[in-house]
């Protein structure tokens, strides 16, 4: 039942070494004697070696030697938690906090034990206490999110998981649970929308987004068209439909909806870029250049806009300006597709300008890029 959580729990146990390294600082009211300290260190070493049952023996011996030592109860609780003894672990960790309410990490491990014992409300409160004491503790934030999800409260899970993701953006566990929380919140919102009005434009837009994400593009077209019928003045709906038409390789339909979008929002940078790009690729470079210049003024994404503007200018016979824009696109964090396309176009533009050395340099750079990412194709054949 807890396989996913147990995997995450295993990933948390490297923090034990750090916790036990500070035993002297945490012990209340006095530092244990040398023999007891050795038992604690033996327990920590056993935990580090993945031997929680051996660690439990050492910590119980430490408790027998020093019954008021909170660190021994902390170690016992974490070893029992690692063994899957959630109820016993919760008791030991609660005792550790009774002896020292400020023990770092103790509330978190108590919350984990309570959660695995199906005590969701106490688990939530314990983890909130840990987060209050350590607002940037990724493990505590993640477990608080897990508990909220387990309690059927994804809206409450989002905040701690978002914070954890901001602190550890490449942690797969954090990203997994964060994605689940946001997905469940979205599903709840869609269900509520559907209950209010199953034929509303918002419901059709949501269904269009779901169909598009799952690459059911024809179904997405039908949903966006229904949404537009009910909300014809929403520019974002046309933009979304245009993107789907591009996935379906229907440039004429995409052009039509982008033109509709621009009637509603004439300064929309994305619509200007998309329409200009389509015009350049469909053989109307003069109109494409005009639209792309407007897109630049509206602060469209720099690299692809400059690339297609350069391509359009080259097609229209303005080689000097084309070279400038294509060169510029290479200095604006372009995608691999844009890089390859820009160098490919620069070869021909430089040759038309009798800049043979520059043309050779562009050809060499294109070869290097293709060697690194063979099989990706030219930027001119892709949609950035």
- Residues 254-281 have pLDDT tens digits of 999 999 999 999 999 999 999 999 999 9
- Euclidean distance between CA atoms 149 and 82, whole angstroms: 22
Token pair, residue 186, equals 């979205």
Q: Residue 212, Cα to own-chain centre: how many angstroms?
A: 19
- Euclidean distance between CA atoms 196 and 111, whole angstroms: 38
For the chain, residues with pLDDT lower than 70 are 1-30, 374-384
| pLDDT attached to residue 178 | 96
Contact call for residues 338 and 303 (beta carbons, < 8 A): yes
| pLDDT attached to residue 193 | 84
- Euclidean distance between CA atoms 78 and 19, whole angstroms: 11
pTM over 0.85: no
- Residues 26-58 have pLDDT tens digits of 444 457 789 999 999 999 999 999 999 999 999
- Euclidean distance between CA atoms 131 and 152, whole angstroms: 20
| pLDDT attached to residue 194 | 87
- Euclidean distance between CA atoms 9 and 3, whole angstroms: 10
Closest CA to 330 of 317, 314, 319, 346: 346
Token pair, residue 170, equals 């490449």
| pLDDT attached to residue 13 | 44
- Euclidean distance between CA atoms 180 and 178, whole angstroms: 5
Spatial neighbors of 147 by CB under 8 A, at least 6 apart, are 111, 115, 120, 123, 124, 127
Task: Please tell me the CATH superfamily of domain 3-191, with its number.
Answer: Tetratricopeptide repeat domain (1.25.40.10)
- Euclidean distance between CA atoms 24 and 44, whole angstroms: 13
Q: At what angle do helices 302-315 and 285-297 cross, to 10 degrees?
A: 150
| pLDDT attached to residue 30 | 54
């Amino acid at each position: 039942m807890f396989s996913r959580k147990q995997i995450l729990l295993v990933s948390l146990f490297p923090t034990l070494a750090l916790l036990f390294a500070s035993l002297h600082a945490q012990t209340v009211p006095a530092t244990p004697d040398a023999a007891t300290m050795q038992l604690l260190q033996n327990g920590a070493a056993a935990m580090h070696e993945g031997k929680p049952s051996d660690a439990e023996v050492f910590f119980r011996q430490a408790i027998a030697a020093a019954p008021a030592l909170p660190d021994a109860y902390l170690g016992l609780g974490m070893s029992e938690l690692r063994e899957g003894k959630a109820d016993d672990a919760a008791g030991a960790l609660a005792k550790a906090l009774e002896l020292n309410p400020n023990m770092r990490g103790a509330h978190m491990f108590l919350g984990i034990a309570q959660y695995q014992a199906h005590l969701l409300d106490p688990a939530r409160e314990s983890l909130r206490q840990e987060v209050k004491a350590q607002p940037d503790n990724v493990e505590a934030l993640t477990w608080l999110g897990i508990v909220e999800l387990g309690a059927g409260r994804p809206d409450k899970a989002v905040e701690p998981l978002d914070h954890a993701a901001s602190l550890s953006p490449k942690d797969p566990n954090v990203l997994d649970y964060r994605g689940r929380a946001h997905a469940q919140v979205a599903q709840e919102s869609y269900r509520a929308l559907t209950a209010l009005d199953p034929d509303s434009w918002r419901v059709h837009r949501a269904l269009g987004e779901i169909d598009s994400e799952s690459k059911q593009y024809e179904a997405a077209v039908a949903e966006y068209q229904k949404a537009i019928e009910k909300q014809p003045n929403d520019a974002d709906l046309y933009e979304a439909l245009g993107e789907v038409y591009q996935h379906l390789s229907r440039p004429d339909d995409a052009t039509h909806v982008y033109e509709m979008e621009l009637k509603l929002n004439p300064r929309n940078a994305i619509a200007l870029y998309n329409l200009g790009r389509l015009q350049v690729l469909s053989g109307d470079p003069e109109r494409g250049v005009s639209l792309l210049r407007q897109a630049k003024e509206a602060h469209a994404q720099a690299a692809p806009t400059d690339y297609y503007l350069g391509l359009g200018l080259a097609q229209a016979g303005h080689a000097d300006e084309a070279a400038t824009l294509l060169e510029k696109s290479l200095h604006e964090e372009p995608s691999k597709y844009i890089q390859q396309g820009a160098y490919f176009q620069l070869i021909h533009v430089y040759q038309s300008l009798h800049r043979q050395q520059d043309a050779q340099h562009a050809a060499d750079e294109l070869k290097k890029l293709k060697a690194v990412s063979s099989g990706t194709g030219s930027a001119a054949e892709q949609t950035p």
